[in-house]
Amino acid sequence: MKNYKYVGLFLLTLGFMSCDVNNELDTIPEEVAAEVQLNANGLDFSKYVSIGASFTAGFTDGALFKAAQENSFPNILASKFKAAGGGDFNQPLMNDNIGGLLYSGNVIQGPRLFFNGSGPESLTATPTTEVTSSVSGSLNNFGIPGAKSFHLLAAGYGNSAGVIPGLANPYFARMASSSTATVLGDAMAQSPTFFTLSEIGGNDVLGYALSGGTGVDQSPSEGNPTGNLNPATYGSNDITNPLVFANVFNGMIATLTSGGAKGVVANLPYITTLAHFTTVPYNPLDPNDAETGPTLKAQIPLLNSVFGAVNQVYVGAGEPERAIVFSATETNSLVIYDEDATDLTAAITNSLGASPTFVPFVESIGLPAAAAPLVANLLGQQYGKARSATSNDLFVLPSSRVIGTVNMTAAGTLIAQSNGLLPATLAGQFSAEGITLPLEDKWVLTPQEQLAIKTATDAYNTIIEDAAALNDNIALVDFKGVLQEASTGIMFDGYTMTTSLVTGGLVSLDGVHLTGRGYALMANKILAAMDAKFGSNFTTATNGLAKAGDFTTNYSPLLQ
């Protein structure tokens, strides 16, 4: 009570004194952080040039468009270089914020994605950027979406006449100095004093990954110690031979630094950790789902009857892990085609044909007994290289649109192969994607295909990291480490960013490319690498880094 008494007396005294004393308290000055001047430590940014692929261009949400280009990491870097004498940074801007491309008025690439409240959806708008209309003026950003390493040295890669046959790149066709120009040649024509060389090698495995591993791995192998060294013979989805990559990358470093320019290179992440490959689960078939569950549940007895006989062949071949069993209570794995699986087509056909229970089964599905050999042959072809998916398999994002749907082409093929014996309804039942019809290879990355991607990526990274270590003019950004950290959460100012689709903030709606905020984070990582290598102080200078809150993670559908 004693303390309260003195507090009360103090307040009472203040009350009596209030008419004689100024009660306004002095304003406490806001603490202002001391300004730290930027010190580039001799780096010359008067002519900054960026070379790379889609990340360098600012590709996001499945397209390239003006707002995204303005948030590209090279453009962010250039804005920071301005404070240290950096020159103008010109980009081959698209005509709109719709995205997509026209060739002679025809749409050859569709518009960007936007979030419709439940998932990614394409804008209902028509692109206006024409490939055959060249961008005028000198350029600084040579980010070419879709370019593989060897494309950057290929004469004619920007020849607009080669776009439709697939011999040239539509993005480079808009900006190439001539029909025989190379990306590196046009970049060097700008006489760069500083450069970034980023994601070189990413597309050398990305096409293979996006296609579910349908391409060819051109790398050295046990039977072919050099692999295929001629990229002119590669398919669009093939994995580039690391020996080819080494020749290209080391040659580019030598050229870019030949005049004394300094620069930054980035290693490659494991792309299979990105949302495009991790969003669709291996076991999405849920009998308890309110919308699709009742239909699935009704088919389970028939499914288990069919697969029960097939599973006996898998077990007999010593591969019980391939067994396909459907549960009426738990989520079920997808049925997939595995090109590396043992081909048991003949074994299934012969086993079913010899089974005394197979004829009654054929009759139970409404077919005559005489159809048993035909059905046995069809099932052998359908499930000879099939298996149940596991958690080790990855599914590309577009597979979500086909899982559970009836493949009408496959159904038509079954009807034709049965000489019309199979009715359309039954053919449709045996053509449900991922249920009765094994998902095609293009939708799935099996462990073997994932290993091929990782092996090539590791080889490319060794080449990139060795080149940086041997050259005093080169700083290395550990982009691989950034993406690994982001798989569980990476901090950027007050934001925790992850690689999750839609909600993660780092990866855009296409599941591969970054958001605007993601590109800002990438720019900051480059600036930090420059500080460590060249002694600059972007990371501590006032306004030396990009701020997360200044960059978006999504674009409104009204932005067109």
**Rounded CA gap, 198 and 147, in Å?**
12
Query: Taking 70 as the threshold, does the pLDDT of residue 182 lie above it?
Result: yes
Query: 183 and 51 in contact (C-beta within 8 Å)?
Result: yes
DSSP 538: T
Average pLDDT of the chain is: 93
End-to-end CA distance of the chain, in Å?
70
357 or 465, which is more confident: 465
| Residue range 88-95: mean pLDDT, rounded | 98
Query: 328 and 303 in contact (C-beta within 8 Å)?
Result: no
DSSP 317: T
**Rounded CA gap, 43 and 264, in Å?**
12
Question: What's the pLDDT score for residue 494?
Answer: 93
Q: In Å, what is the CA distance from 358 to each residue of 25, 36, 375, 378?
A: 95, 82, 10, 13
Question: What's the pLDDT score for residue 140?
Answer: 98
Q: What is the pLDDT of residues 434-453, one digit of tens each?
A: 999 999 999 999 999 999 99
Complete edge-to-edge strand list for the sheet that includes strand 262-266? 141-143, 48-52, 194-197, 262-266, 474-477
Question: What's the pLDDT score for residue 15?
Answer: 34
Domains and their CATH numbers in the chain: 48-278+446-550 (3.40.50.1110), 293-390+404-438 (no CATH)
**Rounded CA gap, 361 and 380, in Å?**
15
Confidence of residue 7 (pLDDT cuts 50, 70, 90): very low
Query: Taking 50 as the threshold, does the pLDDT of residue 537 lie above it?
Result: yes
Q: What is the pLDDT of residues 184-210, one digit of tens each?
A: 999 999 999 999 999 999 999 999 999
For residue 534 the two structure tokens come to: 């060249």
| Residue range 271-292: mean pLDDT, rounded | 95
| Residue range 248-254: mean pLDDT, rounded | 98
Extract long-range pairs of 19-22: CB within 8 Å, 24+ residues apart: none
For residue 20 the two structure tokens come to: 């004689």
Question: What's the pLDDT score for residue 97?
Answer: 98
Question: What's the pLDDT score for residue 19?
Answer: 39
